[in-house]
């Protein structure tokens, strides 16, 4: 557009005429409007990010000149003395120089460990850990990039921050430039070599080609769309650090997640369902005994989980008198309480701790069977990633606090684990339904990772991080490390460099990766991932490396973000097809009219057309669209082919309409309009250049060009997918203005004269009649491109965890996607390979058919469209107009899964001799 402005003011002189000031002013105004809107929206989106970053500045209590002061952590230097107390986050690497009480530090943000670690004088503490117990003073030994946190972030170095969207926009722009270049060269040759045009007349036509071909509003519309998407995410408690990540989130195919604090709560709880009893004492009473042997104040993680499992902490020691309490220490590895019951005055003793230690204490009812049973239970817990805590009791007949008891008796074994968040299971289910594979990448033990994976439905096909170096285990089905990483459900015992390598290898395989995390150890992978997501209460390192920062606990907002991103992506894709189609339409249509009839369309009227189009297209960012049921990424061949076909068809309509006007008397005979006058070749501008004809062609191009957006925005018939009110309103206002201009304008400087209402009515009738075939063209193109769009999704879904329920849901989704991508392009989903499928596939297909009436809507283009009347009534308040019913999604991921499992088991009995287990 800048070139067009220069041409209009500097190169259009000649023939005794002044520079083309109207065109110059119009082009500058168009550029100014686009730039202003883009700047405002980008600034608004960035304000939320700045506000978040301002709230993240950590502080530290520092001793300066003998006085304690509070400073920002960024002002610390090596040698400073800092004070740490309960709840403080260590602001820099340091060495403990004084301790008051037992000092316990929570290193979950660094190592993923759930239990705090004891620190003593001389021990090193790292930035990012949290003081859980005691108070200490430390001397700073490392800050900034020289701290552990800084070195961890430095693992990723500087990443290529060129947004994927910018590269896509560049390719779409190059597509338009190629069309412009071809037709400008052709116009120069035809006008100056063939027609011998005067210099000024030829330059005016070149301005038309430049103005009509350049997608001036594309950066603005896409920026506004992304900015509004970022603003919508902020309302959902997710702050984006740069708006282009919204587009990348729509294409995510694999979600890598840390376990501690992300999938789980990072706190310990007792698993009541697997608690082991070794006497007739009830499970609730065993927990009560363990709670009595726990601290009720200044608790560690173990005591806290036990007292919470009991309930009301005030009732734990109700009715007893504490005589002596022995706290936990690393040597004895147990706690004990001696108490007297107030009701009868008898003295009892309870001890809880490590199973081996407690078993050694036990002397009463201790048999070989009990010893073997306890060992088996401990091993079972260990295999499942559960920590074991044994509980034993004894009576003290003497009633003396130091008296000898009658012998400890083992009464129970408590399984302790780090539970998942309340919404994590549902979040993972929804991610799988959306075609996003979930992998757990954690620093915890392999057994714990597998148990967590089983509980959450991720799967237990997990490996230790050493396989990244050693390769696939011997005898495994994986061909190489890439194959293992792709199909593994997760990895355990990983360090930052391992997470980084996993993300990098998956990216090299062509996947778009999202990584969630909260600790310092997540920062490298967060930075490397296409979309890094820092969950609530994440460390400063994780937040600084992430693209999205969640401001409330839970992962449900991640799924909402993916859905919103796919809506935004669909809006951007729709506009890209539309604006590219306009380039082809105007270049081909006006060039053919120029070559065939020496028709010089006024460049100023094209500016008016472009300005009205751009104003209307600004509303597309708030249009209601259907999110794709699978990951969406730019398939530029799809965009370019659609744009070329739509553009050429539109150009044919314009040229055909022009020919009917000048070569026939059809409109004169049917509607009584006047014949368009032909200027002889002897005039100053030979050819068909009547001012009334200019107004007619302007109106025809304006109406058809803007109406095209209703074709590109929907996947099915345009009238089945109601657009947003804002888009309809903007289109209506723009076309009223365009029609009034065409009817009444008498602008000599623009070579237009009002055509009257009769011609305006003819134009509208013509465009309406020939608008409907666009849907047939769209259906034909969709039949070719939709399978390509689904290919990646099917590969991802088929590589999901291999639990029976998920395999049923997975294959059913794929079948549903193949069967019904839209009502206008229904194709058979049965191939020869499927007809020869295994018994396993037959069972799954039967399950899919059983639930097909209830779940097809989740993967069709009419996603959750209840009825045409409901959609036309606009009963939808969701952003971008998508009706995504959480209850339907929940029902799909739970109720149907259970029913499908039951049906599968029933059919397995019938095929027991032929089918292996799922």
DSSP states along 438-462: EEEE-SS-HHHHHHHHHHHTS-S-E
Assess contact for 351 and 335: CB atoms under 8 A: yes
Give the residue range(s) of CATH 3.40.50.1000 domains in the chain: 237-265+431-561
258 given a catalytic annotation? yes
Q: Which fold has domain 269-417?
A: Calcium-transporting ATPase, cytoplasmic domain N (3.40.1110)
CB neighbours (10 Å) of residue 727? 23
What contacts 816, CB < 8 A, 6 or more positions away?
848, 852, 855, 856, 858, 859, 860
pLDDT of residue 812: 47
Distances (CA, A) of 150 to 71, 515, 534, 806: 19, 19, 17, 40
* Cα 114 to Cα 301: distance, rounded to the nearest angstrom: 8
Give the residue range(s) of CATH 1.20.1110.10 domains in the chain: 165-231+562-777
Give the residue range(s) of CATH 3.40.1110.10 domains in the chain: 269-417
Class of domain 237-265+431-561: alpha beta
Dihedral sign computed on CA atoms, order 593, 174, 21, 38:
positive
Tokens (6 digits) for 696: 């007619």
Tokens (6 digits) for 20: 């083309």
* Cα 129 to Cα 105: distance, rounded to the nearest angstrom: 6
CB neighbours (10 Å) of residue 466? 13
- Record the pTM: 0.67
- By the 10 Å C-beta count (0-12 exposed, 13-18 middle, 19+ buried), 174 is classed as exposed
CB neighbours (10 Å) of residue 470? 11
* Cα 555 to Cα 576: distance, rounded to the nearest angstrom: 32
Q: Which bin fits 190, alpha (ψ -120 to 50), beta or left (φ > 0)?
A: alpha
Please enumerate, as own/partner, the contacts of 741-749 that have beta carbons within 8 Å and a separation of 24 or more. 741/608, 741/695, 741/698, 741/699, 742/695, 742/696, 742/698, 742/699, 742/702, 743/695, 745/695, 747/604, 749/22, 749/604
Q: Go through the chain and tell me how many residues it has.
A: 918
What contacts 516, CB < 8 A, 6 or more positions away?
255, 256, 257, 258, 262, 522, 533, 534, 535, 555, 558
pLDDT of residue 52: 46
Give the DSSP per-residue string, 656-692: HHHHHHHH--HHHHHH-PPPPPPBPTTSSS-BS--HH
pLDDT of residue 591: 92
Residue ranges, the chain, pLDDT below 50: 48-49, 52-53, 55-56, 156-162, 680-682, 792, 796-918
Assess contact for 268 and 416: CB atoms under 8 A: yes
CATH code reported for the domain at 165-231+562-777: 1.20.1110.10
Task: Indicate which residue of 258, 303, 522, 775 is catalytic.
Answer: 258
* Cα 535 to Cα 138: distance, rounded to the nearest angstrom: 29
């Amino acid at each position: 557009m800048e070139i067009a402005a220069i041409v209009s003011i500097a190169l259009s002189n000649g023939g005794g005429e002044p520079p083309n000031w109207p065109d110059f002013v119009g082009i500058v105004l168009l550029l100014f409007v686009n730039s202003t809107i883009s700047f405002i929206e980008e600034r608004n989106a960035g304000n939320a990010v700045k506000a978040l970053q301002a709230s993240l500045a950590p502080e530290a209590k520092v001793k300066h000149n003998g006085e304690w002061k509070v400073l920002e952590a960024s002002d610390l230097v090596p040698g400073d003395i800092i004070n740490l107390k309960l709840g403080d986050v260590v602001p820099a690497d340091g060495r403990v120089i004084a301790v008051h009480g037992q000092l316990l530090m929570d290193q979950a943000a660094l190592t993923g460990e759930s239990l705090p670690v004891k620190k003593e004088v001389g021990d090193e503490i790292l930035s990012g850990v949290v003081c859980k117990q005691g108070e200490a003073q430390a001397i700073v030994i490392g800050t900034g990039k020289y701290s552990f946190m800084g070195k961890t972030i430095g693992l990723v170095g500087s990443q290529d921050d060129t947004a994927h969207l910018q590269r896509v926009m560049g390719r779409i722009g190059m597509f338009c430039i190629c069309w412009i270049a071809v037709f400008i060269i052709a116009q120069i040759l035809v006008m100056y070599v063939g027609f011998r045009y005067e210099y000024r007349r030829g330059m005016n036509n070149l301005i038309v080609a430049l103005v009509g071909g350049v997608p001036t509003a594309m950066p603005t519309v896409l920026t506004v769309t992304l900015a509004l998407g970022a603003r919508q995410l902020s309302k959902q408690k997710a702050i984006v650090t740069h708006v282009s990540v919204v587009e990348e989130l729509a294409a995510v195919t694999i979600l890598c997640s840390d376990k501690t604090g992300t999938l789980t709560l990072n706190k310990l709880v007792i698993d009541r369902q697997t608690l082991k009893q070794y006497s007739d004492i009830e499970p609730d009473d065993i927990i009560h005994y363990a709670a009595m042997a726990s601290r009720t104040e200044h608790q560690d993680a173990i005591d806290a989980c036990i007292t919470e499992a009991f309930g009301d902490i005030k009732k734990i020691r109700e009715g007893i008198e504490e005589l002596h309490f022995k706290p936990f220490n690393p040597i004895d590895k147990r706690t004990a309480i001696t108490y007297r019951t107030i009701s009868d005055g008898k003295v009892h003793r309870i001890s809880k701790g490590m199973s081996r230690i407690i078993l050694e204490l036990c002397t009463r009812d201790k048999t070989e069977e009990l010893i073997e049973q306890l060992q088996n239970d401990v091993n079972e817990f260990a295999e499942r990633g559960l920590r074991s805590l044994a509980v034993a009791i004894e009576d003290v007949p003497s009633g003396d606090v130091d008296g000898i008891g009658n012998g400890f008796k083992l009464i129970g074994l408590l399984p302790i684990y780090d539970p998942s968040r309340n919404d994590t299971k549902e979040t993972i289910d929804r991610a799988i339904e959306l075609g996003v594979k979930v992998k757990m990448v954690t620093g915890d033990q392999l057994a714990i990772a597998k148990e967590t994976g089983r509980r959450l439905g991720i799967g237990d096909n997990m490996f230790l991080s050493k396989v990244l170096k050693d390769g696939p285990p011997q005898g495994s089905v994986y061909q190489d490390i890439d194959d293992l990483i792709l199909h593994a459900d997760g990895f355990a015992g990983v360090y930052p460099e391992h997470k980084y390598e996993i993300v990098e290898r998956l990216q090299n395989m062509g996947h778009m990766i999202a990584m969630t995390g909260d600790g310092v150890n997540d920062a490298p992978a967060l930075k490397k991932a296409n979309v890094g997501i820092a969950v609530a209460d994440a460390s400063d390192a994780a937040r600084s490396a992430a693209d999205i920062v969640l401001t409330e606990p839970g992962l449900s907002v991640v799924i909402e973000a993916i859905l919103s991103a796919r809506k935004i992506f669909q809006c951007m894709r729709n506009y890209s097809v539309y604006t590219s189609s306009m380039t082809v339409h105007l270049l081909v249509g006006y060039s053919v009219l120029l070559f065939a009839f020496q028709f010089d369309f006024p460049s100023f009227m094209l500016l008016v057309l472009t300005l009205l189009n751009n104003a209307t297209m600004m509303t597309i960012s708030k249009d209601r669209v259907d999110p794709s049921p699978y990951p969406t990424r730019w398939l530029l061949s799809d965009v370019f082919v659609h744009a070329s076909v739509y553009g050429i068809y539109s150009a044919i309509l314009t040229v055909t309409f022009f020919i009917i006007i000048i070569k026939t008397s059809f409109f004169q005979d049917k509607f009584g309009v006047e014949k368009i006058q032909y200027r002889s070749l002897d005039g100053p501008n030979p050819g068909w250049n009547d001012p009334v004809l200019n107004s007619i062609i302007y109106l025809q191009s304006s109406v058809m060009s803007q109406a095209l957006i209703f074709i590109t925005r929907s996947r099915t018939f345009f009238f089945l997918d109601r657009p947003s009110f804002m888009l309809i309103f903007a289109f209506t206002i723009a076309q009223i203005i365009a029609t009034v201009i065409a009817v009444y304008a008498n602008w000599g400087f623009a070579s237009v004269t009002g055509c009257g209402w009769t011609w305006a009515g003819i134009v509208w009738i013509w465009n309406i009649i020939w608008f409907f075939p666009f849907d047939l063209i769209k259906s034909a193109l969709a039949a070719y491109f939709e399978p390509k769009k689904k290919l990646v999704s099917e590969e991802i879904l088929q590589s999901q965890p291999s639990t029976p329920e998920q395999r049923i849901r997975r294959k059913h989704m794929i079948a549903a996607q193949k069967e019904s991508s839209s009502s206008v392009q229904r194709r058979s989903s049965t191939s020869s390979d499927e007809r020869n499928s295994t018994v396993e596939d037959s069972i799954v297909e039967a399950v899919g058919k059983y639930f097909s009436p209830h779940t097809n809507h989740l993967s069709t283009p009419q996603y959750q469209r209840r009825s045409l009347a409901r959609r036309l009534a606009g009963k939808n308040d969701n952003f971008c107009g998508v009706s995504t019913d959480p209850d339907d999604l929940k029902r799909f991921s739970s109720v149907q899964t259970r029913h499908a499992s039951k049906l599968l088991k029933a059919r397995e009995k019938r095929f027991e001799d032929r089918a292996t287990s799922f």
